[in-house]
Structure 1
């Protein structure tokens, strides 16, 4: 880390360290970055390369109407993004009055967006450029920018540390979410971070392919989608409702015969949000009627005898009580007595209620 020469440098670099370890958000970093270089506003952008669109922004002092204009329309015609789609990390860019605007895209961006929003100049740097994302930080000014050498060095040092913080954050995020899935069972469970449009903000594509399901849920252009339009709309409605209310919820979606998905949604904790605002944390659980709890687990969980637990396991696998009696080598009347004992111990009143309880383990 470079020698700190001012309070603004120290604050900006401390914020980068905090966001790298999951203790701050990028909008806070943008506030310090704006002050560091003396800009009017600052923006961090995530462009989705697969969807060819703007996935996320974190801003400091950007007017709401300017951000809405850019997010709704002008990000598709941003000459900076279009020209630097394949540029390596560390590439600096700028767009302003003194630049050549001979092509129609640059003229339109200047005349229809920058001038009405009173932006004289935009400049910044590409942080990462990977298969899925291109991320950049840009500064907006209402006057022409002529930085001193010292300001340029400070800005370059900040951008280098920002790129490093972003990479560390993403690596830690993927490792920890993967670890959670491993603890719960990697073929049945997956944790992911996404936005209200179902767009993944954590790279879990390889882990998604390892799930034991029939792919009714798919990743399409980096978006989580259900192949049935009706159920896909329910998924999108749940994502938007969770973001608006900030309350966790649970959603069940069908897969194929005997299979389903159970989704647990909630606002993403700062540690896992990758420093982004308004992101959601999703645990995806693949359910299967033949993924039954063992008789030993049933016995321990409900304080049943080994015979009672075996009876429950057989019933949950789809057998009738008569079949269970034959398999366990007992009379039908004995099987009914064991079932009555199980119902009393579990507090259930009907056999379907008991089966739902067992298969929920």
Structure 2
């Protein structure tokens, strides 16, 4: 491909991302041709945890990216040396050079060499206090830098930084508008990667999840559940929504008497930051304390303890399926209990139960 054509395609892709008409994977594809690379990646490194928030890549097998994001990122001193560099700064690291740290030697000998990569070249797109975002290309043969197209490279750098800023501003504006419709005391929203990294979140979310006994938390800007089994379910739900594009609803337990309902859906422009797998996560905190207590329900309607407990959770807004998760009981058992509750209260539908409970708290 000629230099003129590859430059035009590369810059057109970046402009389209900035305008919200394309995503960063289109930029990564065109960067390979324009910069003469075997592979290219867009990476965001979290500085606090020294881990990877997101990766978009072209030219690598999936296993390489997984190994980097899950393990070898911690040895990537070549990138960390630019954590204080301004946008537009280029870096070039080659296997032939003398490496400066033990991490360098591990990174090149155990990661780069097995994949036959000889050179890393990258440009800083955005550098904040908490994260570094860069476009990186990888080559299997070392290419000496050329200044013949310095003006084009400078234009490309400028466009990358402008596109990133535009997509971030668009996401924040959309999130701000959405936040006006949320009750921060019980609702929150965040834009996340499939690994749970919070790219942006609505004001008040850190308070909603910040209680000392809260089971759903933001830990170093990552959405997590304190209980390993529920953390696994949360990770699965995030990947189903982001990678598979499947909307997911998940209810997770919180401190006693509370639960969180999460609605997860893959986002499109303008909220997705230009990332195809970005996930919108709406979080609702449900409480069973602002409804008749189990003891009151049991006394008023002559219910068994199990029936009163189910009634209590249904009034709090949980569905039968969600009660199954929270109470760790099968739905068939809960439906049998619900039938008994309807019979004892003289109700015919679940909605009548809720109205009846509301009268008790009036």
Whether the aligned pair in 1 keeps the contact of 2:90 and 2:122 (CA below 8 Å) is yes
* Secondary structure, aligned partner of 1:149: coil
The one-character-per-residue Cα deviations of 1:139-171 (angstroms, maximum 9, x if unpaired) are: 111222223323333223212211221122112
Work out which of the two has the higher radius of gyration on C-alpha atoms and give 1 or 2: 1
Q: Which residue of 1 aligns with 2:265?
A: 266
Whether the aligned pair in 2 keeps the contact of 1:121 and 1:144 (CA below 8 Å) is yes
Whether the aligned pair in 2 keeps the contact of 1:192 and 1:200 (CA below 8 Å) is yes
Q: Which residue of 1 aligns with 2:85?
A: 87
TM-score of the superposed pair, with normalisation by structure 1: 0.73
The whole-number CA distance in structure 2 between the counterparts of 1:38 and 1:192 is 37
Q: Which residue of 1 aligns with 2:34?
A: 36
The whole-number CA distance in structure 2 between the counterparts of 1:114 and 1:67 is 12
The whole-number CA distance in structure 1 between the counterparts of 2:145 and 2:50 is 32
The whole-number CA distance in structure 1 between the counterparts of 2:190 and 2:225 is 16
Q: Which residue of 2 aligns with 1:25?
A: 23
197, 216, 225: which one aligns with 2:195: 197
Superposed, 1:277-356 pairs within 5 Å as 277-288=276-287, 348=349, 351-354=352-355
Superposed, 1:234-253 pairs within 5 Å as 234-243=233-242, 245-253=244-252
- Give the gaps of 5 or more residues in structure 2: 292-314, 317-345
Cα 1:270–1:96 change in 2 (3 A) is: same
Runs of 4+ in structure 1 deviating by more than 6 angstroms, as ranges, are none
Cα 1:354–1:89 change in 2 (3 A) is: same
The one-character-per-residue Cα deviations of 1:21-68 (angstroms, maximum 9, x if unpaired) are: 332111111111111122222111111122211221111212334333
The one-character-per-residue Cα deviations of 1:175-232 (angstroms, maximum 9, x if unpaired) are: 2112112124444433212133322122x27431354985443211111123444544
The whole-number CA distance in structure 1 between the counterparts of 2:141 and 2:97 is 14
Q: Which residue of 2 aligns with 1:154?
A: 152
Cα 1:184–1:73 change in 2 (3 A) is: closer
Q: How many residues align?
A: 303
Q: Which residue of 2 aligns with 1:145?
A: 143
- Give the gaps of 5 or more residues in structure 1: 293-315, 318-342
Whether the aligned pair in 2 keeps the contact of 1:37 and 1:155 (CA below 8 Å) is no
Answering whether residue 260 of structure 2 is matched by residue 275 of structure 1, we say no
**Structure 1 residue 290 displacement after superposition:** 7.9
TM-score of the superposed pair, with normalisation by structure 2: 0.72
The whole-number CA distance in structure 2 between the counterparts of 1:31 and 1:46 is 17
Q: Which residue of 1 aligns with 2:218?
A: 219
164, 178, 182: which one aligns with 2:180: 182
Cα 1:75–1:234 change in 2 (3 A) is: closer
The farther-off stretch of 219-228 and 30-39 is: 219-228
Once superposed, what is the RMSD of the aligned Cα atoms? 3.2
Q: Which residue of 1 aligns with 2:14?
A: 16
* Secondary structure, aligned partner of 1:115: helix
Whether the aligned pair in 1 keeps the contact of 2:184 and 2:203 (CA below 8 Å) is no
